[in-house]
A and B are shown apart, each in its own frame.
Chain A
Amino acid sequence: AQSVTQLGSHVSVSEGALVLLRCNYSSSVPPYLFWYVQYPNQGLQLLLKYTTGATLVKGINGFEAEFKKSETSFHLTKPSAHMSDAAEYFCAVSLSNAGGTSYGKLTFGQGTILTVHP
């Protein structure tokens, strides 16, 4: 079984400041890891994903995340926050045998609401 913990249900930053959203996971097999963003009254949109290969993953809107196996972490960062980044962010994990019995199922963290101040 896998699980995801997002540290901090609310994060507040100033415009132009570094954004750091924390995610730790547990998984019995090598994981696939995802970050999704949800704007108010909308569905979830994929920001980036890690499956295999390079551990630093770049996504949309200037976000990136680094897979650190030794720390079981997949933290999301952005060098300079913009007002439009205000949203809720979800980290999710899937088992890497997605084509097998895991059927691509995702386990989500509880979410982190990002607020950006002018």
Chain B
Amino acid sequence: DAGITQSPRHKVTETGTPVTLRCHQTENHRYMYWYRQDPGHGLRLIHYSYGVKDTDKGEVSDGYSVSRSKTEDFLLTLESATSSQTSVYFCAISDARTGYEQYFGPGTRLTVT
């Protein structure tokens, strides 16, 4: 299995508080992605990174920000959590060396009350 970890794995937070989710990889892959998974919607891309300090918005980026200060870590921040951000969040990595296949982390279940 690809070396991808996510922390925390579960979190309950209150509306209006900031939350940061961490994705850590040990594969030295160039590309990293954050998705959210909601029933009936599949996975939707929030933000992605194509290198250190190089990030861009995905399909559902409103209310989220990201940072990547080193190759192995990609942080997702909910600036002021809302109930609509209750979801399961997945991090993924890919690289040209592996044909751009995406490898997924175990996910973080976030509940905003």
Contacts of B105 in A (CB 8 A): 43
Is B71 an interface residue when CB atoms closer than 8 A count as contact? no
A43 and B100 contact, CB distance less than 8 A: no
A108 and B44 contact, CB distance less than 8 A: yes
Is A106 an interface residue when CB atoms closer than 8 A count as contact? yes
Contact of B50 (CB < 8 Å), options: A32, A103, A109, A111: A103
Contacts of B56 in A (CB 8 A): 103
Contacts of B33 in A (CB 8 A): 105-106
Provide the bound-state CA to CA distance between A29 and B50, in Å: 21
Known contacts A42-B106, A105-B48; A90 and B96 CB within 8 A of each other: no
A105 and B41 contact, CB distance less than 8 A: no
Known contacts A43-B106, A103-B31; A109 and B100 CB within 8 A of each other: no
Known contacts A44-B90, A98-B96, A99-B96; A109 and B104 CB within 8 A of each other: no
Chain A residue at minimum C-beta to C-beta distance from B4: A43
Contact of B31 (CB < 8 Å), options: A104, A108, A111: A104
Provide the bound-state CA to CA distance between A9 and B40, in Å: 8
Is A49 an interface residue when CB atoms closer than 8 A count as contact? yes
Contacts of A99 in B (CB 8 A): 96, 100
Contacts of A110 in B (CB 8 A): 40-42
* Top 5 closest pairs, chain A to chain B, by CB: A43-B104, A108-B42, A104-B100, A98-B100, A44-B104
What are 5 A-B pairs with beta-carbon distances under 8 A?
A43-B106, A44-B43, A44-B90, A104-B94, A105-B33
- Excluding A34-B101, A51-B99, A105-B48, 12 further A-B contacts by CB distance (< 8 Å) are A42-B107, A44-B104, A46-B101, A94-B100, A98-B96, A99-B96, A99-B100, A103-B31, A104-B94, A104-B102, A105-B45, A111-B42
